[in-house]
Amino acid sequence: MSQTPTADELRNGLVDEILSRRSLPAEVERVMRRVPRDAFLPGLELEKAYTDQAVTIKENPDGPLALSCASVPSIVAMMLAQLDAQPGDNVLEVGAGTGYNAALLAELVGAGRVTTVDIDSDVALHARTTLNTAGYSRVKVIERDGLLSAWENAPYDRIIATVGVWDIPVTWWNQLADGGRLVLPLRWRGQTRSVALTRRGNSLVSDGVELCGFVPIIGQSGERTEPLNTDSTIRVHYDEDQDVDVDALTDTLADASLHEVLSDCRVGGEEPFDGVWLRATASDDRVCRLEVTPEALEKGLVRRPAIPVRSPALVEGDSLAYMTVHREGADLERPFQLGAAGYGTNGKALAHDLIAHIEAWSADRAAVPRLTVTPTADAAGGLSGHMIGKPESRLTLTY
């Protein structure tokens, strides 16, 4: 008769699983093995508390995305590694969630200070309650709009956001010490990347960019989502600074102008190719995200995108092209070939432009851009690379 595993065994098993896929700093591994995630998810089955999955703690009555959730543990560990919090640090967390991440931070900084803020009163109360119960009463929990930060305990050596951020608010700049680190799920051109940034005067400079997904922070409205058909089963996601004419695009995917082209790029079954998206945003302001629902796929409304819910696309006027994946040839190591499907008047040219992005990525698949962020209020000066402007910050990407 098999014995039911204990919380300690399950927790260590989860950490071992994470370590089988990525390396972690010794201190991050230590705190992941020490802090009981189940204590921050009361009522959840023990086994579910130690699976590498997100857990919703508050549903959103107005939309499909949860208002708050416990993040995927492997993403938590990855972001803590990026943050590099040290003993004695003063840390701000934006997005209290369950309180689990704040407890991990408290273990990392030791005698330092951890402040966590959340705009939702229920979430803040949950975090306060679980932190107290688990023995982390020294963590300061504040119910507040995270975009305002927490001036009471500033300046901070480290700031970490556990919600998707579209623009970096000036308040965070003002409260991050020079030389301090900011880690956040930054959103641009329809994608979200966990970016690790170090403040150097009036610049934030990246040394790490990782794919992730997070619930968007409340209060930022620079992203747009519009349907491309009457059933709203095909949608385009784009930023407010992009020239996207949704009226011109309506029903473009339903016309007979499909143009398909394959690249010379092949990938393995477990090989990620999200770097195509990242590479394209470093030179092309037409990059958006295409979302195709299962209903649209079942009806055969479009040729299947590479990843139906989030495929990179190029949009221009009444035309668009998106990435596709085809199983072609007898290459067992890399059986899949990346391609593009173009629709509309200029769909053929857009498809070939997307192929150029795919092949640029394929030439150096491990390359990661340097992201430099400066306040929009500062005069631009001397930065080379592709700039994306937002109300409070300016992103410059360079390969």
Q: Which amino acid is at 224?
A: R
Active-site residue, 71 included: yes
**How many CB atoms lie under 10 A from the CB of residue 29?**
18
According to DSSP, the residues that pair with 97 across neighbouring strands are: none
> At a CB cut-off of 8 Å and minimum separation 6, what does 69 contact?
54, 55, 56, 57, 58, 97, 215
Within 10 A of 329 (CB to CB), how many other CB atoms are there?
11
Q: Are 139 and 99 in contact (CB under 8 A)?
A: yes
Backbone angles phi, psi at 178, to 5 degrees: -60, 135
Within 8 A by CB and 6+ apart from 43, the residues are none
Residues 143/148/150/151 CA torsion (nearest 10 deg): -140
d(CA 59, CA 19): 31
Q: By the 8 A CB rule, do 373 and 394 touch? A: yes
Structure-block tokens of residue 81 = 């590694």
Query: What amino acid occupies position 300?
Result: G
Instruction: Please state, in angstroms and as integers, the Cα–Cα distance from residue 38 to each residue in 35, 120, 128, following that order.
Output: 9, 22, 15
51 is written with which tokens? 């699976």
Instruction: Find the catalytic residue in 2, 23, 68, 71.
Output: 71
The separation between CA 336 and the C-alpha centre of its own chain, rounded to angstroms, equals: 25
Instruction: Output the six-digit token pair for 190.
Output: 């329809």
Helical H segments across 22-94, by residue range: 26-34, 46-49, 73-83
Alpha-carbon gap, residue 76 to 40, rounded angstroms: 14
158, two tokens: 């480290």
> Could you list the active site residues?
71
